[in-house]
Amino acid sequence: MKKFDVLVVGSGAGLEVASFAAEQALSVAIVEEGSLGGTCLNRGCIPSKMLIHSADVAETIKESAKFGIKSKIESIDFASIVKRVSEVVDTDSSGIEQAVRKSGNPVLYKVRSKFIGHKQMKVGDPSTGSGQVEQIEADKVFIVGGTRPATPPIPGLENTPYLDSTRALRLVSQPEHLVVIGGGYIAAELAHFFGSLGTKVTILVRGNVMLSNEDEEIAAWFTKEFSKKHNILFNAETEAVSHQNGKFIIKLKSEEGKLEADQLLVATGRAPNTDILNVKATGVDIDDKGYIKVNEYLETNVDGIWAFGDIVGILPFRHTANDQVGFAIRNAFTDKKVPFDYFAIGHAVFSSPQVGGVGKTAQELKREGISYKVGKAELKDTGMGGALQENGLAKVLVSEQNNILGVHIIGPNASILIHEAIVAMKANGKVEAITNSVYIHPALPEWLQRAFFDIG
């Protein structure tokens, strides 16, 4: 069995741990089945946002008449849009791999692998044709293996060529009619991408709102606006799926009966890769959903094994993992451990309209019995709202002591504006951080400031 000082499972944020360890003259192994760079670069935030920008441009052109500018889209070269994005992603990923291989340390095992014991892995699997099979072990192990699209137990689904988010980002032929199963952020973003470029989109949502994890008022606002652009069926449960003569037949447990479409996208969440990696063989504890349990120092219950990123299931965003890297390195390689703080880590939904959020939602505060005050402002009541001819809502939740508990925004550039709140919450967490500042008039950020001034 080959021995290393450090084993890193996953080549997203985990690459920084591997690089640090190699710089300390430690022997390092990286295990990665797929393209290097992790989910964000290859199958997530980078390609999706590049594609979505094309949709945003198309939407701007379609709406130009309200500014007195008559324009039209001559054609959509869907294949070239996807090709451009894929080439950028593949070039970046290939560059990472070449750099790793050239260095010689870390040693890259680019094969499907699994744990076979305490800090031990079998790298390579004859059944996948990956060639050489070895067994490796390490003193320190970092499990940063991420997640994958979840497959719901819908009869017939696995026997069809349906799209998940990974395959949807590489689709080179634009569908005429796309049915989307799911109502979360992935469904919202990809429906916006396809729909804005001319695909008819039908969305099947199990509940009565989209983006149900957002603040309830923001979710309701988004649902209302998105329903103006796409056909959304609420409280819709899929009974079975089949594929015949190039068409998907989606049978529903409702009065709608069935739908037909030339493409089906399933966007019903993510599943941790702990089962594929056979993490249980290490003795590491996982929860009932398969996510790895860690303490505040990103340590598992097994000494010498750390985990972070999506595979721990807490605020599963690339920026969370990027922040966790430094803590994991310090806690594993120095004598002074520092707890990781999830406070004020924000998120955004790059759909139309955009959504940005940080901190607690109103429904979370209610469940936890925390009293709070609310401030709100609509974009239409600001100078920039009139210029943009758009509306949106900024909502602020604060404690009785004027500590910022949560901020939620829906509307143009919400993904940018939410950083005002993130910085304020990280700086001192007080309302005065916003209200005592002098904002440029009539710049868009004063919309958020008005919500703070509205706190009752």
Record the tokens describing residue 258, joined without a space: 């069935």
Alpha-helical (H) ranges within 134-215 are: 165-168, 185-196
Domains in the chain with CATH codes:
2-149+271-333 (3.50.50.60), 157-268 (3.50.50.60), 353-453 (3.30.390.30)
pLDDT at 130: 53
d(CA 57, CA 75): 13
The one catalytic residue among 53, 243, 419, 441: 441
Quote the crossing angle between the two packed helices 185-196 and 45-62, to the nearest 10°. Answer: 50
Output phi, psi for 455, to 5 deg: -60, 125
* DSSP string across 1-43: -EEEEEEEE-SSTHHHHHHHHHHTT--EEEE-SS-TTHHHHHH
Q: Letter for the amino acid at 160?
A: T
d(CA 252, CA 238): 5
Question: Do residues 111 and 36 lie in contact, with contact meaning Cβ atoms separated by under 8 Å?
Answer: no
Where would I find the beta strands (DSSP E) of 96-225?
A: 107-109, 113-117, 120-123, 134-143, 147-149, 177-181, 200-204
Continuous segment of H or E residues that includes residue 357: strand 355-359
The residues that bridge with 258 in the sheet, in sequence order, are 251
**pLDDT digit of tens for each residue in the chain (456 aa)?**
999 999 999 999 999 999 999 999 999 999 999 999 999 999 999 999 999 999 999 999 999 999 999 999 999 999 999 999 999 999 999 999 999 999 999 999 999 999 999 999 999 765 555 556 899 999 999 999 999 999 999 999 999 999 999 999 999 999 999 999 999 999 999 999 999 999 999 999 999 999 999 999 999 999 999 999 999 999 999 999 999 999 999 999 876 689 999 999 999 999 999 999 999 999 999 999 999 999 999 999 999 999 999 999 999 999 999 999 999 999 999 999 999 999 999 999 999 999 999 999 999 999 999 999 999 999 999 999 999 999 999 999 999 999 999 999 999 999 999 999 999 999 989 999 999 999 999 999 999 999 999 997
- Return all residues near 75 (Cβ < 8 A) that are at least 6 apart: none
pLDDT at 256: 67
Output phi, psi for 212, to 5 deg: -65, -15
Question: Do residues 262 and 245 lie in contact, with contact meaning Cβ atoms separated by under 8 Å?
Answer: no
Q: Look up 192 and say whether it is catalytic.
A: no
pLDDT at 137: 97
- Pairing outcome for strands 200-204 and 28-31: unpaired
pLDDT at 131: 58
Q: Letter for the amino acid at 57?
A: V
Q: b/e string for 411-420 if b means 16 or more Cβ within 10 A? A: bbbbbebbeb
d(CA 244, CA 291): 37
d(CA 52, CA 71): 20
Q: What is the C-alpha radius of gyration for the chain, rounded to an integer number of angstroms?
A: 24
d(CA 10, CA 238): 34
- Return all residues near 60 (Cβ < 8 A) that are at least 6 apart: none
Measuring CA to CA, which residue among 131, 193, 184, 166 is closest to residue 38?
166
- Pairing outcome for strands 2-9 and 134-143: parallel
Output phi, psi for 432, to 5 deg: -60, -20
pLDDT at 375: 98
pLDDT at 96: 96
Measuring CA to CA, which residue among 49, 40, 129 is closest to residue 92?
40
